[in-house]
Structure 1
Amino acid sequence: MAKYEGVLNIMDERFGHDTLISVATIDGGRPAVRTVDGYYEDGAFFTVTHALSGKMRQIKADPAVALCGEWFTAHGIGEDLGHIRAPQNADIAAKLHAIFAEWYDNGHTDDSDPNTVILRVRLTDGVLFSHGTRYDVDFENKKVSVGDKT
């Protein structure tokens, strides 16, 4: 468990703030990838998006996603948490507003739009590189194996 906690600390350091990550989905059997502003917390990435966007339509059809950024690649399950102002989203919405404050109110997002939603990607497995060490991470079972650099 100590190795897993160590990986979580690296994840928090690297992604526990406004960070750019690439999110890949499947669109009609073809991969589709885009860069989003994301925030990592407790085994998941969060972003604010539009419910009618291509990525959300694709996730609704097939919630399996892949993501990568800063020497980290992973698989996960995409989930539409609903409207940003929904009562059940109050805590994470407040965090996202603070974390994304630099750009949040620049006209790109509209919290009054019922289609402004929170996307959570629950990580299932991933590979993290840090200081020359490869960590194969099983987020579902909270296990880590340390491998070579390949």
Structure 2
Amino acid sequence: MTTEIKAIMDERFGHDTLLSVATAANSIPYVRIVDAYYENGVFYAVTYSLSNKMNQIKNNPIVAVCGEWFTARGIGENLGHIRDKRNAKIAAKLRAAFASWYDNGHTDENDPNTCILCIKLTEGVLFHNGTRYDINFKDEYANE
């Protein structure tokens, strides 16, 4: 992936951003909007491990995302509890990115089911200033 594409992705999504996340269960698609944060080919969201979204990802980790002239596919994974020591670095970044709403009562870090959803992108399409970029995130390759 070129430095230019990395910069575009960071500028668009390297902060609190609304992202559509699609999952599937029993051949039925489901889509919802989540607050997400992007870093190095991965979107992160704070969510609830018992939600339909996380249950669907547990059974079928292939997801699709869409936001701001960008669509992609990836692999969803539950990284576990927000306060798990293994999640300390990304959890701190998520708290900072989501600071405007994070402590409004919606997120309960004391609840053991409050978790981090990680979506590792595999391939996507990004549009910027009239140019289409086909991105292979697995190989960090982009094609205009």
TM-score, normalised by the number of residues in structure 2: 0.98
Of residues 69, 72, 75 in structure 2, which corresponds to 1:74? 72
Write out per-residue CA displacement over residues 125-146 of structure 1, whole angstroms, 9 at most, x where no aligned residue.
Answer: 0000000000000000111110
Write out per-residue CA displacement over residues 63-112 of structure 1, whole angstroms, 9 at most, x where no aligned residue.
Answer: 00000000000000001000000000000001101110110111111000
Aligned residues: 144
User: How far is 1:27 from its partner?
Assistant: 1.8
Amino acid aligned to 2:21: V
The aligned counterpart of 2:142 is: 144
The aligned counterpart of 2:47 is: 49
| 4+ residue segments displaced more than 4 Å | none
TM-score, normalised by the number of residues in structure 1: 0.94
The aligned counterpart of 1:86 is: 84
User: How far is 1:5 from its partner?
Assistant: 2.2
Q: What secondary structure does 1:102 align onto? A: coil
Structure 1: runs of 5+ lacking an equivalent: none
Q: What secondary structure does 2:91 align onto? A: helix
Q: What secondary structure does 1:88 align onto? A: helix
The aligned counterpart of 2:57 is: 59
Amino acid aligned to 2:127: F
Amino acid aligned to 2:82: I
Q: What secondary structure does 2:133 align onto? A: strand
Return the alpha-carbon distance in structure 2 between the equivalents of residues 145 and 36 of structure 1: 28
Amino acid aligned to 2:70: F
Amino acid aligned to 2:15: H
The aligned counterpart of 1:19 is: 17
Q: What secondary structure does 2:11 align onto? A: helix
Return the alpha-carbon distance in structure 2 between the equivalents of residues 96 and 36 of structure 1: 13
**Identity of aligned pairs, percent?**
62
Return the alpha-carbon distance in structure 1 between the equivalents of residues 64 and 50 of structure 2: 20
User: How far is 1:6 from its partner?
Assistant: 1.5
Return the alpha-carbon distance in structure 2 between the equivalents of residues 102 and 117 of structure 1: 19
